[in-house]
Amino acid sequence: MPFPNLIAGVLIGIVSNAWGERLISPFAWGVVFCIYTAIYQRAKGKISTVNKRSLNYRVKWGMSFQQALYFVNYITATSTSFIFAMLTGAIKGIL
């Protein structure tokens, strides 16, 4: 689901006036996206599937399967929104 992250990055770039805000805001968005993912999975009933799969894969990168899932979601959300916030901020600065 990269589209919410892309939209968040563009919005961060448009709304933020200082570069410091554009540097910090994507990290906060990563946390918000992980919470959103947890709520979305619970609503879709995917938590039981994750728990069943975690029995087969106990350790992945030194983490449980569910921890690794949220880690990957956090890194993806943060990096995608960071890149697009910086690009949008640079374009906004030029214009």
Domain extent, residue 12, equals: 2-94
Quick one: CA dihedral 1, 41, 26, 66, positive or negative? negative
Q: Is the pLDDT of residue 82 over 90?
A: yes
Tell me the H-state helices in the chain: 2-15, 19-44, 47-56, 65-94
pLDDT by residue (tens digit) across 7-28?
999 999 999 888 888 899 999 9
Domain count, the chain: 1
Q: Is the pLDDT of residue 30 over 80?
A: yes
Beta bridge partners of 60: 63
Q: Is the pLDDT of residue 70 over 60?
A: yes
Q: Please report the pLDDT score of residue 40 as a whole number.
A: 81
Residue 4: CB atoms within 10 A of its CB come to: 16
Q: Is the pLDDT of residue 75 over 80?
A: yes
Q: Please report the pLDDT score of residue 29 as a whole number.
A: 92
